Chains A and B, each alone.
Chain A
Amino acid sequence: MYASLLTRRYLSTKLMPYVAVLAVTVCTAMVLVAWSVMGGFLDKLLASGRVFTGDVTITWPTVGFAHSDDLIRRLEARNDHVAAAAPLIQTMGVITLPDDQVVPITIRGIDPVRYARVVDWRGVLYWKPIDAPVPKDRAAEDPRLDPQWRARMEAALRDGLSMSRPDPVTGKPVPAAVPGIEVSGLSRRQPGAWYEFRKESFGKPNADGSIDWVGGFMPDRSVTVRVLPLDSKGRDVALVSKTLPVANEFRTDVFEIDKRSMLMPIDVLQKLLKMDESDAVAAEFNPYEPPGPDGFAPVPTTGRSPARVTSVVVKGQPGVAPDALLNTCLAVYREFADAHRGIVPSYAAMRGNERFPPRLIQTWEMSQAQFVGAVRNETGVVVTLLSFISLVASILILAIFWAMISEKTRDIGILRAIGASRAGVGWVWLRYGLLIGVIGGLLGVGLAYTVATNINEIHEWLGRAFGVQIWNPAVYYFTEIPRKVDPANAAKVFLGSVGFSLVGALVPALRAAWMDPVRALRFE
C-alpha cells in the first residue's frame, strides 16, 4: 500500500518521470506507426493486385495454351465451387505514347464482358463523370467534375466499358486500349488524389516537317503497341505493331500496375501475337531448304492450329476456401488435359509435385506468396529494429530511476527502519516503472492511432512546410501511404512498452532493495 502511495507522490512531485513517460510514449508510437504502415501496406498489397487476378489463375506463360473455351466450359460446369472463368492473355511489349516516348509495358488482353464476371475491372476505369469531389479535393478542381467535360467523360466511360472508340469518320467502333493512368505521364496526380491531364497542346513533328498540335487527354489520343509473337513452342515469328485509339485509362492505386500495364481487347492481342486460329506448321519445317520453284520453301501445314490464351482466370463461389477451389481447378484441368492429350500442356507439368507445388495453377495468395513473404519479413525486421531502438527508453528509465534512488536513499533507509522488507522497497520502484510503462504505453498507442489515421495529411503537410517527401509512390507501389492500426499489434506494442519500462526499473529497484538501511539513514 505504501508502494502505491509513494509512487503516486513521486510521480506528482518530480519532473524527470514525465521525461521517462514521454520517452516511452514516443517509442511506443514509433513502433506502432511503423507496424501499422507496414501492415497496411501488406494489407493493401493483398487487396489491390486482385483487380487483375482471379481467385485461381491457370497459366501457361507467354506462348499460351489452346482450347481455353473448353476449359472454361468445364470449369463453369463445376458451379458448386466455380462462379465464373474468363480467358486472359498476358504478354510483354512496348508502346509508343502520344509524345513519341516508347516505354515497356505489360499488356493484358481481356474480353471486357467475360472478364468482368471474374474480377471487377470496370471499377478502376478512371475517366468518368463524378458528382462530388473526391474527399481530399478540397478546391473541387477535378476535371471530372467540370460540367463542360461531362459529355466527354460520359463518352470515355462508355468507350472504356466496351474497350472501343468510334472511328471519327465512319462512327464505327474500333477496338481501343486502356492504359494505366501513370503510363503516359500526361496525367499528373495532384495532392488531392485526383489526376489533372495536360490541357495545353504540345507540338508533334510529322515526317514531312509539319507539326500536329495535340492535347494531353489520353482518351483523345492513341498508342502504338509492339509485341513479339511466338509460336506454340516459343519460337519467334516476327515483330508486329498496331496503333490503337485510347478508350480510357485505369487507376488501381498500385503505382507499379498503373505505371507499367495496359488493357486491350483480347481478340486484337491474340491476332497480334499470332495466337489466333491458324494453319499449323510442321515441326520439321525449315524455311531455307530445300528451295521450291519460286525460290521459297514450301510451307507444309499439318492442319489447323487452335487459338491460344496464356491464362484462364477463375472466380470462386462465395465462401469456397482457396484450397478447395484450387483442388477443383486441378481436377478439372486433369480431365481437360486428358481430353486434349498432346495439344495442351500436361496435367503433370501444370501441377508440379509435393515438393515443388503447382506454379501454373495457383491461388492468388500463392502467386503473391513470395512478394508478400518478403514484405512480411521486412515488416518483422523493421519492427524488431525499432523495438531495439526503444530499449533507449528502458535505459532512460534506468538512468532516471538510478538518479532518483540516489536522491531518495534516505527514504529507503527510513522505510526499511520502520519495517519495510527488501522486496517491499524494491517493489516501490518496480511499480513506479510499471506505472510509467502503462501511462507511456497508453499515450503512445493513442498517439500512434492519431498519427496513423492522419498520416497522409501529415505527410502532405511535411511536404508543403519543409519540402520533404518520405513516401515515394514509385518505390512503394501505392500513391497513398496505407495504414491499419491492428488492435492485436497495438496490444503487443503496449505490453512491450510496459516490459521495457520494467526492465529499466529492475536494476534500480534491485539497488534499492539491497541497500544497507543504516548506511542509507546516515546518507546526507
Chain B
Amino acid sequence: MTALLSATNLQKTYRLGRVDVPVLRGVSLDVRAGEFIAIVGASGSGKSTLLHLLGGLDRPDRGTGGDVTFDGRSLGSLSAAGIDRYRSRSVGFVFQFYHLLPELTVLQNVAIAAMIRLGRVGYLRQRGVVTARAEELLGLVGLSHRLRHRPAELSGGERQRVAIARALMNDPPLLLADEPTGNLDRASGLGILEALVTQRGQTGRTIVLVTHDAEVAARADRTVRLVDGRLSGA
C-alpha cells in the first residue's frame, strides 16, 4: 500500500542569532491512507515543528532539508495558492493551544474553515449546509448548547473541542492533531479520542496525533518516538 503522506529526510534548523539550533535532523515517515499514527517525544523535541511541516504551514530547511509528499505530490513544488488549498482542503489542524478567534462565536469559529474553502459566492450558496454541518460537529464534541458563546467563555477543554470541530469542518483526508487531549480530563479526553476514532472508521481519515499520554498512544495503529531530531519506532 502506498503512503498518503510521506516525509523524507526532513531537516529543520532554527537560527538563534549566530547559533544554529537543529530541531529536526532527518525525519523520515510514511503514513498510509487511513492509518492512525501517534508521535511521542520529550517536550521541545520538535513534535509541533514536525506537524507544521507536514501540514504545509512551514517549510523544511532550504536545499537539503528534505520534502513532504502528499498523495504523490511534493509540497515543495506547489505554488503559494496550491499550499493554501492543501491547508484548506486536505488538512485539518488541531493546535496545541486551541487557537480560536476570540471575536467570533463558537459556531463561527467552526464555520470559518468552510468560508475560507468555499469563498464568498460558494459560502453564500451553501450557507445552510455549512451551518448544519458546523452544528452537527459541535454536537459530536458535546457543545450543542454553547454555539453562540465566545471562546473566552469556554473552559480549556471546551475550546479544544471547538478546535477539533473546526479541523473536521472541511472533512479533510488528513487530520494533524497536536496534543488534542492534553487539556482534558481523562474521561473527556478519551471521549474525544473515541469520537475521532469512530469518525475515522466511517471516513477513512488519516490521523497523525502528537501526545504525551501512553493510553492515547495505545489507541493508535503505530507509535513513533522523536528523539534527537530523528524518529524511532516505539
Q: Is the CB of B103 within 8 A of A418?
A: no
A2 to B23, CA, bound (A): 35
Which residues of chain B are near A190, meaning CB under 8 Å?
A: none
Pairwise interchain contact B112-A418, C-beta atoms closer than 8 A: yes
Q: Which residues of A contact B (CB under 8 A)?
A: 1-2, 4-6, 9-10, 13, 410-411, 413-422, 424, 517-518, 521
A424 to B101, alpha carbons, bound, how many Å?
16
Interface string of B74-96 (1 = CB under 8 A from A): 00000011001101110001010
Query: B58: CB under 8 A from chain A?
Result: yes
CA of A333 to CA of B166 in the docked complex: distance in angstroms?
Answer: 88
Find B58's partner among A1, A4, A518 (CB 8 Å cutoff).
A518
Q: How far is the CA of A5 from the CA of B100 in the complex (A)?
A: 15
Closest to B121 in A: A1
* A/B interface sample: 25 pairs, CB < 8 A: A1-B124, A2-B112, A6-B103, A9-B103, A413-B99, A414-B100, A414-B101, A415-B116, A416-B87, A417-B57, A417-B87, A417-B93, A417-B99, A418-B87, A418-B93, A418-B112, A418-B113, A419-B84, A419-B116, A420-B84, A422-B80, A424-B116, A517-B58, A521-B57, A521-B99
| Residues in chain A near residue B115, CB distance under 8 A | 1-2, 5
Closest to B52 in A: A518
Using A1-B119, A518-B52, A518-B57 as known contacts, say yes or no to A419 and B101 having CB atoms under 8 A apart: no
Residue of B nearest to A13 (CB): B103
Q: Does B108 contact A (CB under 8 A)?
A: yes
Q: Which residues of chain A are within 8 angstroms of B81 by Cβ–Cβ distance?
A: 421
Q: Is B123 on the interface with A (CB-CB < 8 A)?
A: yes
Supplied contacts A9-B103, A420-B116, 14 more A-B pairs, CB within 8 Å: A1-B120, A2-B115, A5-B112, A6-B101, A10-B103, A410-B99, A411-B101, A416-B57, A416-B87, A418-B112, A419-B84, A420-B84, A517-B58, A518-B52
B117 contacts the other chain (Cβ, under 8 Å)? Answer: yes
B42 within 8 A of A: no
Cα(A5)–Cα(B131), bound, Å? 14
Number of A-B contacts (CB under 8 A): 72
C-alpha spacing A5/B108, complex, angstroms: 9
Q: Which residues of B contact A9 (CB under 8 A)?
A: 103-104
Query: Quick check: B99 and A414 within 8 Å, CB to CB?
Result: yes
Q: Spell out B's residues near A (CB within 8 Å).
A: 52, 55, 57-58, 80-81, 84-85, 87-89, 93, 95, 99-104, 108, 112-113, 115-120, 123-124, 166, 170
B95 x A521 contact (CB < 8 A): yes
Which residues of chain A come closer than 8 Å to B123, judged between CB atoms?
A: 1
A4 and B124 CA atoms in complex are apart in Å by 12
Q: Once bound together, how far apart are the Cα atoms of A180 and B124, in whole Å?
A: 70
Within the complex, the shortest CB–CB distance from B61 to chain A, in Å, comes to 14
A317 → chain B, closest Cβ, in Å?
A: 60
Residues of A within 8 A of B99 (CB): 410, 413-414, 417, 521
Bound: A420/B80 CA distance, A: 11
Closest 5 CB pairs of A and B: A419-B88, A9-B103, A2-B115, A1-B115, A419-B87
Q: Contacts A1-B119, A1-B123, A2-B115 known; A417 to B55 CB distance under 8 Å? A: yes
Nearest CB of A to B8, in Å: 21
B93 / chain A contacts, CB cutoff of 8 Å: 417-418
Whether the pair B120, A517 counts as a contact (CB closer than 8 A) is no
A414 (CB) vs chain B CBs: closest residue: B99
Report the Cα distance A340→B167, complex, angstroms: 100
A13 to B87, CA, bound (A): 29
Nearest B residue to A9 by beta-carbon distance?
A: B103
**How far is the CB of A408 from the nearest CB of chain B, in Å?**
9
Set of chain B residues within 8 Å of A518, measured between Cβ atoms: 52, 57-58
A residues less than 8 Å from B101 (CB atoms): 6, 411, 414-415
A2 to B119, CA, bound (A): 8
Residues of chain A with a CB closer than 8 A to B120's CB: 1, 4
Q: For the complex, give the distance between the alpha carbons of A10 and B170 in Å.
A: 25
Task: Report how far A417 CA is from B178 CA in the complex, Å.
Answer: 13
Is A421 a contact of B112 with CB atoms below 8 Å? no
With a cutoff of 8 Å between Cβ atoms, the chain B residues found around residue A4 in the complex are 120
Look across to chain A and name the residue whose beta carbon is closest to the beta carbon of B87: A419
Complex Cα distance A1/B166, Å?
16
On chain A, the residues within 8 Å of B55 by CB distance are 417
A418 touches B58 (CB 8 A): no
Complex contact A418–B88 (CB within 8 A): yes
Q: How far is the CB of B128 from chain A (nearest CB, A)?
A: 14
List of B residues within 8 angstroms of A410 by Cβ: 99
Q: Which residues of A are found within 8 Å of B108, using beta-carbon distances?
A: 5
Q: Given contacts A9-B104, A10-B103, A419-B88, are A517 and B113 in contact (CB under 8 A)?
A: no
Residue in chain B with minimal CB distance to A524: B97
Counting chain B CB atoms within 10 Å of each CB, the highest count among A411, A418, A517 belongs to A418
A residues in contact with B116, CB < 8 Å: 2, 415, 418-420, 424
Docked complex Cα distance between A358 and B117 (Å): 71
Complexed CA–CA distance, A141 and B116 (Å) = 71
A421 to B84 alpha-carbon distance, docked (Å) = 6
Set of chain A residues within 8 Å of B104, measured between Cβ atoms = 5-6, 9
Contacts of B80 in A (CB 8 A): 421-422
B residues near A414, Cβ cutoff 8 Å: 99-101
* CA–CA, A421 and B102, complex, Å: 20
Q: Min CB distance, A174 to chain B, in Å? A: 84
A10 CB, min distance to chain B CBs, angstroms: 6
A427 to chain B, nearest CB (A): 11
Q: Most A CB atoms within 10 A — which of B88, B101, B108, B120? A: B101
B74 to chain A, nearest CB (A): 19
For A417, the chain B residues whose CB sits under 8 A away are 55, 57, 87, 93, 95, 99
Q: Which residue of B lies closest to A517 (CB)?
A: B57
Contacts of A411 in B (CB 8 A): 101-102
Q: A5-B112, A518-B57 are in contact. Are A418 and B166 (CB under 8 A)?
A: yes
Question: Chain B CB within 10 Å — which of A1, A411, A417, A419 has the most?
Answer: A419
B80, B84, B113: most-surrounded residue (chain A CB, <10 A): B84
Return the chain A residue nearest B81 by Cβ.
A421
